[in-house]
Amino acid sequence: MSTDAIVLLKNDHKEIRKAFRDFQKAGVSAHATKGKLVDRMIELLTVHTYIENEVMYPRVRELLPDLEDDVLESYEEHHVADLLVMELAPMTYKDERFEAKATVLIENVEHHIQEEEQDWFPKVREGLTRTQLREIGAELAAAKEKAPRRPEQPSALKKTVDAVLA
């Protein structure tokens, strides 16, 4: 199994996009399905932003200082996604804003994933060695094990608080 950091993160992105597509394809009255898909999106995003915030971004920032601006922009984009996820988590389809908030979350995250994959990952791959990418990949895999899965878990809240107060 490859533990290359970029491969691992792209696999996460693929799962996230799949949940987005399924949500968008679900019929207007597929309430139960949409509720489950939103729960799935929330879990995937909570884990993914956690491992990028805790491992990928700080490592890259340290090893490739030229990419600092990209990293800072990414933290801000994660912060916006965190806020939307926190607001969406307690909602059900009965909430007037459920569908709209899920849609805005999807749009925001799609944009962020696209920037990472098309712009940022290529720069990171160019700047780091295969060994460095594998080492970061192993750290990402380890962080995934202990990552929060719901936004109200303490480690996820701490992340949000850090982002607001930093």
Nearer to Fe ion, 82 or 116 (CB): 116
Interaction between residue 52 and Fe ion (CB under 5 A)? yes
What is the three-class DSSP state of 147? coil
Is-contact 15 116, C-beta < 8 A? no
Q: How far is the CB of 32 from Fe ion (least distance, A)?
A: 28
What is the contact mask toward Fe ion in residues 114 to 153, using x (rule: CB under 5 A)? --x-------------------------------------
Nearer to Fe ion, 70 or 116 (CB): 116
CA–CA gap between residue 139 and residue 55 (Å, rounded): 7
Q: How far is the CB of 30 from Fe ion (least distance, A)?
A: 27
Nearer to Fe ion, 52 or 70 (CB): 52
Residue with tokens 């990552």: 147
Q: How far is the CB of 88 from Fe ion (least distance, A)?
A: 18
CA–CA gap between residue 84 and residue 149 (Å, rounded): 15
Amino acid at 89: A
CB-based burial of residue 165 (10 Å sphere; 0-12 exposed, 13-18 middle, 19+ buried)? exposed
Interaction between residue 70 and Fe ion (CB under 5 A)? no
Nearer to Fe ion, 99 or 110 (CB): 110
Q: How far is the CB of 51 from Fe ion (least distance, A)?
A: 9
Which of 112, 111, 91 is closest to 102 using CA atoms? Answer: 91
Q: Which residues bind Fe ion (CB under 5 A)?
A: 52, 116
